[in-house]
């Protein structure tokens, strides 16, 4: 659960504080409806400690703003009076963008973290920042014309496979895209006339997992995402995203896993992302470059039906062992209760779940490895796009009425 989601309400401030109290309470109610993708009025009353009539008034205002809708009674409620369900409304959408070396993924995402219409634009080589702006502008123009009048795109969230300056969204370095100091956020904002917020892709994924996914209500989790551009990490500790002194914390792909290992783009060698790569798996399974979407299925099928070559088995074994070494360091450093693996790291977790579990857990022995769960993120880039949308929704969730009426 990231900051902004775990919030308290304030119902006691009076006088000049009334507006800020109302803003705070609107923000809290919308945040709950958003992260739980729908709650009953009774749940809102319980979660906030506000009385029924205050909740009704707050929900009424959010309905007027188009941010939530009230629907049928909560059928699952066993006891007491049935309660009206409040769900995220269609009024606000975020444009999520994730460029990578072979594809630019773009999607509209609604409140509640639902991907509305994803577009994957394949490229024959790594796109430049200017090409990403052109691709996204064209896709956005198409999406906007088919959007009903009551729906508004509130901003753009950009998930980058690289280092992003947290202050102005400049891509400081994306080695696999061969980008350095690219002001992509500013260029995109100029082109689309929308606010743009950028973050590292794995950090975006961690936010999505903490808000909607396996990590909801888990204050200490680590998200590791493996894609075409290497392995990124996002760390949530004590319910907060760990940013570090200058905003670059969580570079778990550069955890050292092997002495005398392969050279890494960071200038070091033997890093996790230099040793455990998606490209090696693609080559070993013999999949054409354009069919990366089927990689997980293809590798697991070959391992299970006995048709895997010795090279493929050896590679998967080696990658699992090296990932295990990396995860053990992560667990000892950060003491998470949950590790979420996304992208091609899912393949390694599914191929040899015991090996990874044994590496991070020493049951019955007190310490960081006593009990750590490993879970898989949903397939594909969805968590990255949903996390990118979270960046764009942040100002709206902070001040729903102020943002929508501005
Ligand atoms: Zn490195």
Distance 256 CA to ligand 1 centre (A): 8
pLDDT score, position 198: 97
- Say how far apart CA 339 and CA 316 lie, in whole Å: 20
* Residue stretches of the chain with pLDDT short of 50: 1-15
CA distance 199 to 162: 9
Residue spans per domain, the chain: 15-88, 92-204+383-405, 214-377
CATH code that applies to domain 92-204+383-405: 3.30.420.40
Burial of 8 (0-12, 13-18, 19+ CB in 10 A): exposed
pLDDT at 261: 95
How many angstroms does the Cα of residue 266 sit away from the middle of ligand 1?
4
Q: What is the pLDDT of residues 369-403, one digit of tens each?
A: 878 999 998 876 688 999 999 999 999 999 999 99
- pLDDT computed for residue 82 by the predictor: 67
Beta strand ranges found along 218-327 (DSSP E)? 221-227, 230-237, 240-241
Q: What pLDDT score was predicted for residue 247?
A: 85
Answer yes or no: same fold for 92-204+383-405 and 214-377: yes
What is the pLDDT, as a whole number, of residue 375?
93
> In angstroms, what is the span from residue 228 Cα to ligand 1's centroid?
15
Asked if 73 contacts 85 with a C-beta cutoff of 8 angstroms, the reply is yes
Residue-wise DSSP of 120-166: EEE-SSPPPHHHHHHHHHHHHHHHHHTS-TT-EEEEEEEEESSEE-T
The answer to whether 200 touches 234, Cβ cutoff 8 Å, is yes
CATH code for the structural domain at 15-88 = 1.10.10.10
- Residue 364 has what pLDDT? 78
Task: Encode 65-98: b = buried (16+ Cβ within 10 Å), e = exposed.
Answer: bbbbbeeeebeeeeeeeebebbbbbbbbbbbbbb
Distance 189 CA to ligand 1 centre (A): 31
CA 86 to chain centre: 24
User: Nearest Cα to 30, choosing from 94, 113, 112, 152?
Assistant: 112
- In angstroms, what is the span from residue 231 Cα to ligand 1's centroid? 10
- pLDDT confidence of residue 16: 53
Predicted local confidence at residue 34, as pLDDT? 95
How many angstroms does the Cα of residue 405 sit away from the middle of ligand 1? Answer: 46
Q: In Å, how far from its chain's centre is CA 53?
A: 35
Q: Helix 278-285 and helix 310-334: axis angle, to 10°?
A: 160
Return the CATH superfamily for domain 214-377: ATPase, nucleotide binding domain (3.30.420.40)
Interacting residues of 44 by C-beta distance below 8 A, sequence separation 6+ = 29, 32, 33, 50, 55, 59, 86
Condensed to tens digits (0 to 9), the pLDDT of residues 78-120 reads: 566 667 899 999 999 999 999 999 899 999 999 999 998 899 9
From ligand 1's centre to the CA of 233, what distance in Å?
13
- Please name which of 382, 305, 377, 368 lies closest in space to residue 335, comparing C-alpha atoms: 368
């Amino acid at each position: 659960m990231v900051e902004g989601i775990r919030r308290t309400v304030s119902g006691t401030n009076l006088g000049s504080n009334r507006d800020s109290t109302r803003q705070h309470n609107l923000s809290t109610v919308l945040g709950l409806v958003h992260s739980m993708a729908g709650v009953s009025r009774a749940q809102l009353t319980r979660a906030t400690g506000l009385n029924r009539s205050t909740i009704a008034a707050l929900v009424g205002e959010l309905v007027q703003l188009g941010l939530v809708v009230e629907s049928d009674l909560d059928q699952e409620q066993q006891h007491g009076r049935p309660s009206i369900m409040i769900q995220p409304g269609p009024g606000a959408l975020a444009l999520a963008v994730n460029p990578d070396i072979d594809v630019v993924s773009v999607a509209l995402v609604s409140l509640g973290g639902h991907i509305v219409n994803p577009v994957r634009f394949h490229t024959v080589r790594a796109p430049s920042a200017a090409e990403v702006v052109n691709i996204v502008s064209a896709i956005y123009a198409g999406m906007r014309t088919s959007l009903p009048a009551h729906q508004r795109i509130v901003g753009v969230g950009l998930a980058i496979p690289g280092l992003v300056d947290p202050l102005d969204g400049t891509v400081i370095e994306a080695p696999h895209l061969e980008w350095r100091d690219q002001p992509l956020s500013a260029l995109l904002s100029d082109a689309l006339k929308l606010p743009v917020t950028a973050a590292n892709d794995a950090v975006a994924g961690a936010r999505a997992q903490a808000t909607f996914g396996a990590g909801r209500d888990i204050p200490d989790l680590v998200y590791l995402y493996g894609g075409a551009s290497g392995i990124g990490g996002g760390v949530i500790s004590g319910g907060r995203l760990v940013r570090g002194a200058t905003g670059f914390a969580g570079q778990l792909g550069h955890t050292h896993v092997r002495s005398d290992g392969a050279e890494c783009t960071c200038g070091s060698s033997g890093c996790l992302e230099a040793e455990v790569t998606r490209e090696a798996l693609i080559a070993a399974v013999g999949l054409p470059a354009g069919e990366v979407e089927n990689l997980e299925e293809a590798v697991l099928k070959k391992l299970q039906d006995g048709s895997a070559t010795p090279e493929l088995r050896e590679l998967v074994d080696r990658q699992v062992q090296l990932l295990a070494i990396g995860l053990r360091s992560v667990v000892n450093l950060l003491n998470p209760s949950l590790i979420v693996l996304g992208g091609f790291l899912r393949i390694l977790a599914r191929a040899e779940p015991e090996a990874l579990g044994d590496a991070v857990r020493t049951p019955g022995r007190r310490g960081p490895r006593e009990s750590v769960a490993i879970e898989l993120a949903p397939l594909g880039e969805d968590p990255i796009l949903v996390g990118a949308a979270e960046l764009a929704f942040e100002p709206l969730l902070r001040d729903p009425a102020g943002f929508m009426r501005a």
